[in-house]
Amino acid sequence: MEKRYFGTDGIRGRVGQHPITAEFVLKLGWAAGKVFSRNRKGPVLIGKDTRISGYMFESALEAGLSAAGVDVRLLGPMPTPAVAYLTRTFDACAGIVISASHNPYFDNGIKFFSESGQKLPDDIELAIEAEMDSAMEMVESDKIGKVARIMDAAGRYIEFCKSCYMGSRNLRGFKVVVDCANGATYQTAPSVLRELGAEVIEIGVSPDGLNINDQIGSTSPETLQQTVVNRQADFGVGLDGDGDRVVMVDADGELLDGDELLMIIAIDRHRRQVLNGGVVGTVMTNFGLERALGDAGIPFTRVAVGDRYVLEELNKRHWQVGGESSGHILCLDLTSTGDGTVSALQVVSAMVDSGKTLGELKRQMDKYPQAMINVRCQRARDLMASSDVVQAVAATEDKLAGKGRVLLRPSGTEPVMRVMVEGEDSTLVELLAKDLAEVVEAAAH
């Protein structure tokens, strides 16, 4: 069956527009409560990021779950991976995050975690959608779910993150800039690094409900880069609004994306003999990562874009490490979902134990230039079979002469075809991407 509401990362959209309305979320909480309570008893945890609409949706979910007879535990502002972790440690039957991740404040969404701290399987999401078609009926008054707030949630998560640090000594002597995107990590990420001994300079830690991801955080790292250079810091950590993605900045202000961080983590774990297999990337992963891992003797494979697919492949192969260029990195020996703070600590562990700077570790990988152009079209998937497009792709690959890649990928969230060309020569890559995008655009009209 095709899902009506759930996408690859929960339910997301513009606040006030269906389905991101108080009425819908109330019913969603009730439907989810009905489904969760079929299998086992236990509370449902609710966390959120710092969007102004989070309070409204928290109340709606709380009411819906209670009406279904399910107990609720409120976490307040809490990173997405913290909710996944706490769901496991509290033996909850599920966890819910109210967040639209790296999107602007006027968007919001609802993500669910199973009792194991992983995304819900398809059959549970379909069961929740089926319940949405039923009339909402409240349990008897003596069966209404009870609600309580977990007061020490942030402290529990901070201690967990610290336990994931693998370095042989603390971070005393390091000066670190931490950018929390005015989002869910503003209470946790600076404390983690500070309690590990670092001198911490905080930015993006003054949420007002409207400034989450607003020209700050992992999707807008310019302020982080400038601050690292101006304050002569050793490195910087940039998180997104809900804390599951991370980018880093070296002492020279140079940005390291998810591919470069994944490379550092994998090679360091390989050196420690704790990698336990290979690495999973996506079709968008830079070829430089594949090459660097190959040189280190580390297996690598690609899947479709989306952390769901990375996780599926890791589980299938019984591997532990994978991720995306966006900075969504999975270390399944430590966490059940992407965690920006934990991922950053793995990179810092590599710095400490190797005695190298972040810039030196970055140079283990030669990043290939990539050019990405979004071509607006209504039926992007149909273009993949267009003879003109097929011929243009083949011609582009011939010009790269085996030293690059071409990728056409229909967006899963908007009506565009993403045209990507990757190769050794940045000028040629830009030119080839432009020419190919023009062919795709012509075929779309």
pLDDT digits (tens, 9 = 90+) for 14-33: 999 999 999 999 999 999 99
The pLDDT of residue 444 is: 87
Average pLDDT on 219-225 reads 97
Cis ω before 415 (30° cut-off from 0)? no
What would the two tokens of residue 404 be? Answer: 């690059």
pLDDT digits (tens, 9 = 90+) for 127-153: 999 999 999 999 999 999 999 999 999
Catalytic residue among 66, 101, 343, 349: 101
* Residue 325 · residue 286 · CB < 8 Å: yes
Q: Residues of 25-53 as b/e, b for ≥16 C-beta within 10 angstroms?
A: bbbbbbbbbbbbbeeeebbbbbbbbbbbb
Average pLDDT on 183-209 reads 98
The pLDDT of residue 413 is: 66
pLDDT digits (tens, 9 = 90+) for 66-104: 999 999 999 999 999 999 999 999 999 999 999 999 999
The pLDDT of residue 403 is: 84
pLDDT digits (tens, 9 = 90+) for 388-413: 999 999 999 999 998 889 999 887 76
For residue 77, give the nearest of 156, 187, 159, 203 by alpha carbon: 187
- Identify whether 206 is a catalytic site residue: no
Q: Residues of 230-268 as b/e, b for ≥16 C-beta within 10 angstroms?
A: eeebbbbbbbbbbbbbbbbbbbebebbbbbbbbbbbbbb
pLDDT digits (tens, 9 = 90+) for 333-344: 999 999 999 999
How far lies 40's CA from each of 34, 86, 439, in Å?
A: 11, 17, 55
For residue 156, give the nearest of 236, 54, 81 by alpha carbon: 81
The pLDDT of residue 141 is: 97
How many angstroms separate the CA atoms of 207 and 416, rounded? 32
How many angstroms separate the CA atoms of 404 and 407, rounded? 10
Band of pLDDT at residue 235, cut at 50, 70 and 90: very high
Kind of pairing between the strands at 72-77 and 147-149: parallel
Q: What angle do CA 413, 134, 412 make, to 5 degrees?
A: 5
132 half-sphere exposure, CB direction, 13 A CA radius: 18
Domains of the chain: residue spans and CATH = 11-151 (3.40.120.10), 156-253 (3.40.120.10), 256-362 (3.40.120.10), 370-443 (3.30.310.50)
Strand boundaries in 277-427, DSSP class E: 279-282, 300-303, 321-323, 329-331, 370-376, 404-410, 416-423
